[in-house]
Amino acid sequence: MNPAEPKPLLETMTWPEARRAALANRVVLLPVGAIEQHGPHLPVDVDNRIVTWLCDEAARRRPDLVMSVPPIHYGFNTHNMGFPGTVSVEVEHFVNYVADVCRSFVKQGHKRVILINGHGSNAMPCALVARKIVNEHDDALAAAINHWNLARDLAAKIRETPVGGMAHACEYETSWYLHLAPGQVYMDKAVADVLQKRSEQIWVDLMAGDGPVAFIDDWSRVSNGSGVEGDPATATAEKGRLYAEEEIKNLLSFCAEFQAMTVPPRRNYTARGTDPNPYHDA
């Protein structure tokens, strides 16, 4: 490999190469996943495999723009601990740990960090981490993206399951895995399952949005036993390929915008501040 060419993955870089990546203002892509049950037909690494591949592939296509870094493998997963193969980290530990990882990149000169999340229960903690990084630094920005949100428009066109049926080990996630590692999917064991409906205001759907009430119960109490939320039987590798391409396209588009985003100076309009504001005497 030409040493002058940027490497896409941090783990393969020497420290001088890592320094050059920061000086080039490459956007850091941090995959954030989980190890948890995904029904009887999918391995427990679904969330990790998808977001790691997504970040790595985006970096391979645009190493001048982004750099993919090693993933956060474990997530906040208390609701699934009744199923074997699930590992959970308490939310306070998760937030502090992931924030420390992001701070490390900022301390070494990176100005843009994006958490690419692959696990539903990590969504709010990842958003909190991104906000903490922005609040703590004057010249760095951080954002969090749930990767499935990058393909919602496409899902509206190609999904076969009704709204409320794409939540976990479903048509969407199974299609992704059939695209990435078809030999590890047991489609003969794929079953349709929906969590018990306990309110007209509560539902979960990755691709169409959730209900107005945020409520997650222990899945061992509301699942029929499969751990699935949706119908994986409608999944195909071609759908997975389409989702992958759509998400890479939209991710790289945002990364270019994020890299170019200006960071205005902070203002202090309080009684302790000296910054002028025309509304002070309103």
Structural domain boundaries of the chain?
10-260
State pLDDT tens for residues 109-128.
Answer: 999 999 999 999 999 999 99
For 189, phi then psi, to 5°, come to: -105, 5
Q: Which CATH number fits domain 10-260: 3.40.50.10310, 3.40.50.720, 3.90.1300.10, 3.30.70.20?
A: 3.40.50.10310
Average pLDDT over residues 192-196: 81
At residue 211, the pLDDT reads: 85
- Going across the sheet that includes 112-117, the strands are 66-68, 27-32, 112-117, 141-146
Mean of all residue pLDDT scores within the chain: 95
Burial readout 110-146 (b: 16 or more C-beta within 10 A, e: otherwise): bbbbbbbbbbbbbbebbbbbbebbeeebeebbbbbbb
HSE-up of 76 (CA within 13 Å, CB side)? 18
∠249-254-204 over CA atoms, to 5°? 80
d(CA 110, CA 92): 25
Q: Are 230 and 170 in contact (CB under 8 A)?
A: yes
- What is the token pair recorded at 195? 């969590």
Residue with tokens 């990084």: 133
Which pLDDT tens digit goes with each residue over 129-179?
Answer: 999 999 999 999 999 999 999 999 999 999 999 887 799 999 999 999 999
The reported pLDDT for the residue numbered 65 is 99
Residue 103 has pLDDT above 70, yes or no: yes
User: In terms of pLDDT, which residue wins out, 282 or 234?
Assistant: 234
* pLDDT for 210: 84
pLDDT over 80 (residue 47): yes
- pTM listed for this prediction: 0.95
Q: pLDDT at residue 219 above 80?
A: no
Q: Is the pLDDT of residue 247 over 70?
A: yes
For residues 91 and 30, give the distance between their C-alpha atoms in angstroms, rounded to a whole number.
18
Q: How far, in Å, CA of 275 to CA of 97, rounded?
A: 35
For 185-201, what is the mean pLDDT? 88
